[in-house]
């Protein structure tokens, strides 16, 4: 690895699924050398999620590019010794075992910080290290259920691993903060994040605004007044939060009398009367095609866009202009499409330097860097310690 603001940072990741692994994804995208450790003889669940070619899934090719992958049995003492050797030279360690598992495997924070006191050790869990739910199994929809997110979506799950990815972004930010603290003399430390806290924090800003100031008059949430507008041939997304925008929309749609309607004339009134507001403008916009509606809304200079299906996203002119989608050839999966890292750095640009690893693709390479001879590697593979 030779580009990105995290060039020179080494990460060892033993996590699986999304909430832990997407932490190291973001670090890898910014140039860190990430060694992803998978179980010998078992595939990570994300290799088996989505459209699949060989051992590459639609999830895997995006989430694990720019990483090196090795297969290692860390439950065996010889495998643990290899892990400790990797940790000796690492800056960051990521795990998302259930609370207590890492300690039983003797790879908890105390174990690894004894080997490398400057290590930033990240633990990712569902609910935290203790408490009534701490040892229960958990996936994204469970956190959506507990956090209010399901209720906010009208009683259904968001059709994306929102809680997982929110937690991973929290974890990646926390790791960067810990690395900065280390650079300022704090040394290594244990960082803990969990899905429930991360998701509640993410939801709180807007969905819990009534609970934030319980003495105020309750106001309808975004879930009640943020919805697409149906047209005769599709739908548009459009909002007019400011009073000036609202007035311009009324003029553009030829209903100037609604600009002074006391139910809608102010932002507060539009929020409090969100159901009536939705009904009024749904009828108005429902008379137009998507193209006609967008032309009128754009003339009013309000935020608006067509509601695209997945296949249409690739042809959107702004997506194409930004070169957001990258197309490349993977030796196993064939043609692969992923998105570029969303942050762009003027002095330390990021690049796609490695495609997502096949199972155990870099085992020999990493072990050789640790000083293991070809004969030693062959013996470890014969004994099922690596693959």
Could you state, in order of their start, the residue ranges of all structural domains in the chain? Answer: 10-205+321-382, 229-306
Q: Please, which residues have CB within 8 angstroms of residue 320's CB and are 6 or more apart in sequence?
A: 314
The hierarchical CATH code for the domain 229-306 is: 3.30.1540.10
Backbone angles phi, psi at 341, to 5 degrees: -60, 130
pLDDT in tens, 257-315: 999 999 999 998 998 898 899 999 999 999 999 999 999 999 999 999 999 999 999 99
Per-residue pLDDT at 220: 82
What fold, for 10-205+321-382?
Rossmann fold (3.40.50)
H/E stretch holding 269 reads: helix 267-272
Bridge partners of 304, per DSSP, are 238
pTM: 0.94
Mean per-residue pLDDT over the chain, rounded: 95
Distance of alpha carbon 363 from alpha carbon 385, whole angstroms:
11
Query: What is the pLDDT confidence band of residue 2, given thresholds at 50, 70 and 90?
Result: low
Say if residues 70 and 358 touch (Cβ distance below 8 Å): no
pLDDT in tens, 43-61: 999 999 999 999 999 999 9
Average pLDDT over residues 320-347: 96
Average pLDDT over residues 179-205: 97
Could you give the angle at which helices 162-183 and 195-207 cross, rounded to 10 degrees?
100
Say if residues 13 and 20 touch (Cβ distance below 8 Å): yes
Say if residues 4 and 37 touch (Cβ distance below 8 Å): no
- The three-state DSSP-derived secondary structure of 31-43 is CCEEEEEECCCCC
* Interstrand relation of 92-95 and 10-13 (parallel, antiparallel or unpaired): parallel
Q: Burial letters for 52-82: b for 16+ Cβ neighbours within 10 Å, e otherwise? A: eeebbbbbbbbbbbbbbbbbbbbebeebbeb
pLDDT(87) > 50: yes
């Amino acid at each position: 690895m030779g580009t990105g603001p995290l060039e020179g940072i080494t990460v060892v990741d033993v996590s699986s699924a999304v909430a832990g692994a997407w932490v190291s994804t973001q670090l890898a995208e910014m140039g860190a050398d990430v060694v992803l450790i998978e179980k010998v003889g078992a595939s990570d669940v994300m290799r088996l999620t989505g459209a699949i070619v060989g051992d590459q899934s639609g999830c895997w090719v995006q989430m694990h590019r720019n990483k090196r992958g090795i297969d290692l049995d860390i439950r065996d003492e010889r495998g643990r010794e290899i892990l400790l050797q990797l940790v000796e030279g690492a800056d960051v360690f990521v795990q998302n075992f259930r609370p207590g598992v890492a300690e039983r495997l003797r790879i908890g924070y105390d174990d690894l910080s004894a080997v490398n006191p400057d290590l930033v050790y990240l633990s990712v869990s569902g609910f935290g290290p203790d408490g009534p739910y701490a040892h229960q199994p958990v996936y994204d929809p469970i956190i959506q259920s507990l956090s209010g997110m399901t209720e906010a979506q009208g009683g259904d799950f968001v059709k994306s691993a929102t809680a997982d990815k929110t937690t991973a972004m929290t974890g990646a930010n926390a790791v960067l903060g810990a690395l900065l603290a280390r650079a300022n003399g704090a040394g290594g430390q244990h960082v803990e994040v969990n899905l429930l806290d991360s998701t509640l924090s993410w939801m709180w800003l807007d969905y819990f605004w009534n609970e934030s100031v319980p003495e105020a008059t309750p106001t309808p949430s975004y879930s009640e007044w943020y919805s697409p507008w149906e047209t005769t041939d599709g739908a548009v997304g459009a909002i007019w939060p400011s009073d000036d925008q609202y007035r311009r929309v009324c003029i553009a749609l030829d209903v100037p009398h609604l600009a002074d309607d006391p139910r809608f004339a102010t932002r507060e009134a539009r929020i409090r009367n969100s159901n009536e507001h939705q009904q009024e403008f749904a009828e108005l916009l429902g008379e137009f095609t998507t193209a006609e509606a967008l032309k009128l809304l754009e003339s009013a200079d309000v935020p608006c866009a067509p509601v695209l299906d997945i296949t249409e996203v690739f042809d959107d002119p702004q997506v194409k202009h930004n070169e957001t989608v990258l197309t490349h050839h993977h030796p196993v999966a064939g043609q692969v499409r992923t998105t570029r890292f969303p942050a762009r750095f003027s002095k330390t640009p990021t690049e796609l330097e490695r495609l997502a690893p096949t199972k155990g693709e870099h085992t020999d390479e990493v072990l050789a860097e640790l000083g293991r001879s070809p004969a030693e590697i062959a013996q470890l593979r014969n004994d099922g310690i690596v693959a």
